[in-house]
Structure 1
Amino acid sequence: MIWFALAVDLTAITLLAHVLYFRRHGRRDLLLAYVALNTGIFGIVAMLTQREVGLAVGFGLFGVLSILRLRSDTISQGEIGYYFTAIALGLVNAVAAASPWMLLGLNALLLAVMFVVDSPRLLPRDERRVVTLDVVHEDPVALRQDLEARLRGRVRRIDVTEVDYVRDLMVVDVRFRAPDSAPAEPSARTAVFPPLVRAGRR
């Protein structure tokens, strides 16, 4: 059964890393990380289950996984979600090797959830910017129009975080939806907190 579970795991991580992640986000380095992490987890857990080790060893394994540093300026929260799904696939396929139907069902569930929640067609993505304007808009409508012109998208939410009348600037946290045809900027996709955008006066 372990070879069947391995085949299912390799198929599942290929679908997750290449079909779902790489084709949508295009980062080869993270594709490699997902595959390596998944197969490593599968191999370790499969070895532990075959040797019938105690529960303490299992907790030790999770302790080792907790050392992994997932905080990075180049990894978004969505990409961390792919990390945990890759780990879950490795664990599920190694532990449930003796129950083929449960194994297949859990793999299908995890992949289906990631397909839905990361689908740009089913769930359109809103982008986030922290924008510094060197002009203070007293009129909310004028502020929205100015931001939509600069960001080239439909503004959905504006939170004014700072207004400085001395230096004549304001800082706003903007959620907006960019047109489908417009390519997303790398910083918006890869940074957990997008960098500050400075906008000039018109």
Structure 2
Amino acid sequence: MIELFALRFLINLFFTFLVIRFIYYPQYKNKDFVFTFFLFNSILFVLCFLLAAADLKFGFAFGLFAMFSMFRYRTVTVPIGEMGYFFLVVTLGIINSIASLENYAMLILANSLLVGVTFLLGRFLTLTHENFQVLTYENLALVKPDQKALLLQDLIEKTGQPIHRVQVVKVDYQRGVAQLKAYYYSKDNETFSADAEA
């Protein structure tokens, strides 16, 4: 039993290490989540392995997964990409602890498949995001439908962002300012300052 536990834990730790150190961390550089991912994975592995002997098996595993699928950090906002990695390390902990497989080649193949797909998606699926930022704009003369080209040019010069479209949120004629949504493409979910004035 001890040998089985140790072997399963080493397999789990190896593939979790590959995901966190060589796929997640180079992209996100968040040490806090690195610790959290390892901790959750290890706790879940030990918990599932020890309780699997009580014949709870896959019903228990799916119950845990459903519970963690509703999990949210209360103190910080977790980006959806990092939540994906969280679910992956949870899944690795579950399948490595309770999968009733005598053939370890199949267990290693399942782990390799999950890690490989994660690597390929993270490496080659670089989609372009359309981000936007709300701006306070003072030149009301350009906030007109027939001045769209000049407005875009002015915003590009002032913000330095490749803005391709603008939406007028509201216009305050008393203060002489307009609130705009400036849209631009980026490979990252980056935004320029929320307090930007153009």
**Amino acid of the structure 1 residue aligned with 2:51:** L
**Amino acid of the structure 1 residue aligned with 2:195:** R
Select the residue among 137, 141, 145 that pairs with 2:149: 141
> Secondary structure of the equivalent of 2:55?
coil
Contact 2:61 2:94 survives alignment (8 Å): no
TM-score normalised over the length of structure 1: 0.73
Contact 1:42 1:93 survives alignment (8 Å): yes
Tell whether 2:89 aligns with 1:86: yes
**Amino acid of the structure 1 residue aligned with 2:46:** G
Select the residue among 171, 174, 183 that pairs with 2:180: 171
Q: Specify whether residues 195 and 95 from structure 1 end up closer, same or farther in structure 2 by C-alpha distance, changes over 3 A only.
A: farther
Match runs of 1:115-130 below 5 Å: 115-119=119-123, 122-124=125-127, 126=129, 128-130=131-133
Tell whether 2:54 aligns with 1:51: yes
> Secondary structure of the equivalent of 1:164?
strand
Q: CA deviation at 1:67?
A: 6.3
**Amino acid of the structure 2 residue aligned with 1:11:** F
The CA deviation string for residues 57-78 of structure 1, in whole angstroms up to 9 with x for no partner, is: 4455346535632365442111
Aligned counterparts of 1:173 and 1:31: Cα–Cα separation in 2: 34
TM-score normalised over the length of structure 2: 0.74
Q: Specify whether residues 69 and 130 from structure 1 end up closer, same or farther in structure 2 by C-alpha distance, changes over 3 A only.
A: same
Aligned counterparts of 2:74 and 2:131: Cα–Cα separation in 1: 19
Structure 2, unaligned stretches of length 5 or more?
none
What number of residue pairs does the alignment pair up?
187
Aligned counterparts of 2:58 and 2:69: Cα–Cα separation in 1: 17
Tell whether 2:194 aligns with 1:197: yes
Tell whether 2:135 aligns with 1:132: yes
Structure 1, unaligned stretches of length 5 or more?
179-183
Q: CA deviation at 1:34?
A: 0.5
**Amino acid of the structure 2 residue aligned with 1:198:** D
> Secondary structure of the equivalent of 2:195?
strand
